Amino acid sequence: MKEKSRISPAVIKRLPIYHRYLEELMADNVERISSNELSSMIGFTASQIRQDLNNFGGFGQQGYGYNIKALYNEIGKIMGLDSEYSMVIVGIGNLGQAIANHTKYYKSGFPIIGIFDINPRLIGMKINDIEVQDAEELTSFLEEHKVDIGIITADKTAAQDIADKFIAGHVKGIWNFAPCDLKVPEYVSVENVHVTETLNELAYHISHNDYGEKDVREAGIR
Amino acid sequence: MKEKSRISPAVIKRLPIYHRYLEELMADNVERISSNELSSMIGFTASQIRQDLNNFGGFGQQGYGYNIKALYNEIGKIMGLDSEYSMVIVGIGNLGQAIANHTKYYKSGFPIIGIFDINPRLIGMKINDIEVQDAEELTSFLEEHKVDIGIITADKTAAQDIADKFIAGHVKGIWNFAPCDLKVPEYVSVENVHVTETLNELAYHISHNDYGEKDVREAGIR
């Protein structure tokens, strides 16, 4: 088990953004980039970028910029992307299917090894070669397989019950798309994707003639 | 046009959370609640809650707690939920359908008035009584209809082009699910839902035995 991180939550939120831009630069065969160039791409200030990337050691050289591949790999390691995370999805409506289809193409190591639903019309269907199982089977599946991440794309009325099964089944993290907060012990990590809340934020910005995420970025919390 | 808000971006991010919990309390016919009770439900500290809700005037009375309905309505107004926002979706794969189905049931005023795709097999299909139109028709649709929010659930390669059409068509905000950042003029608000980034954050927390969103919440930025 690695040492508990000293990186601030705000930097952690920015890591995947750096990672994504660096990946695009690598795809374009760019080898080095300055903090100023990164700044104009990403929209963070150059000094913010230098400060953030200083967390990860000396990949920037005055006048030469950052070595993109080295920085990409280092950030990937810090993000834990050098490991593989097995995942199961509970709730295979449109959202669950979107996730299943998306992560199938996602190159990093997040294989989906089980898909569950309560709807008899969906049970037995195949999604990316994985057969949808009855959600009743979730507990025994978790006993038999090592699952790192449990994905909840079910109704919010079922979400806590699913989370409890995940916890009993020793998942390490829960990726929760249900519009509710889960009660979990502190050794289980949770990331919520509360889609409706982001729509509400957008309405807020529109109604106040605010500028949305750009403001939030400037405040450094994105 | 309302005055530009003085509320901090961190508070803005918490507004929809308060709103959601208050809605649940109203559904349970609860009339008043203390900051301590809210704290144990939501997980923010009671002093954080009192400080946040002080932004919205005197709905809390020492010893009596907050009037849930008044607070819900006031937060809804501040969030701009007393207005209606017409929306169009471009890209009606699984994710677009999930959004269309979800917002259909979402009680507040976010009607979807147009759905577009480039896939000939999808064009002409009906989703919640709305016929999917050829994405080629987007520009003329925006000329003929007042659209407040444009939703991008298409590939990232198409995202900027769609955003440009939205901007030319005078949308006020863009709800972007494509994994890229959009270049928009400053009078257009953007909310990005970068789903993969949240999975990467979860991997980070798992690999560091960190506690995910709970930490971030404590840092007050959620």
Mean pLDDT by 10 residues, chain A (222 residues): 62 87 92 90 89 73 81 88 92 91 70 95 92 97 97 94 97 94 93 89 83 42 32
Q: So where are chain B's domains?
A: 9-78, 87-196
Cα Rg for chain B, rounded, in angstroms?
20
**Does domain B87-196 sit in CATH 2.60.40.2310?**
no
Q: Return the pLDDT at B2.
A: 44
Architecture of A9-78 per CATH?
A: Orthogonal Bundle (1.10)
Determine contact, residues A35/A46, Cβ cutoff 8 Å: yes
Q: Return the pLDDT at A62.
A: 66
Chain B partners within 8 Å of A209 (Cβ):
1-2, 4, 187
Chain B partners within 8 Å of A81 (Cβ):
200, 203
Q: B38 to each of A91, B14, B123, B214, how far by Cα in Å?
A: 29, 13, 47, 16
> For residue A29, how many other CB atoms are within 10 A of its CB?
7
Q: What are phi and psi of A67, to 5 degrees?
A: -80, 110
Mean pLDDT for back-to-back runs of 10 residues, chain B (222 residues): 62 87 92 90 88 73 81 88 92 91 70 95 92 97 97 94 97 94 93 89 82 42 32
Q: Return the pLDDT at B218.
A: 40
Chain A partners within 8 Å of B102 (Cβ):
95, 195-196
Which residue of chain A is at minimal alpha-carbon distance from B75?
A204
> For residue A4, how many other CB atoms are within 10 A of its CB?
10
Q: Say how many CB pairs under 8 Å bridge A and B.
A: 231
Nearest to B149 by CA among B110, B99, B105: B110
- CA B180/CA A27 separation, integer angstroms: 14
**How close B2 gets to chain A, by Cα (Å)?**
5
Q: Do B83 and A205 touch (CB under 8 A)?
A: no
pTM for the predicted model, two decimal places: 0.80
Q: Return the pLDDT at A103.
A: 67
SS (H, E, C) A174-210: EEECCCCCCCCCCCCEEEECCHHHHHHHHHHHHHCCC
Q: Return the pLDDT at B220.
A: 35
Fold of A87-197: Rossmann fold (3.40.50)
Q: Do B206 and A20 touch (CB under 8 A)?
A: no
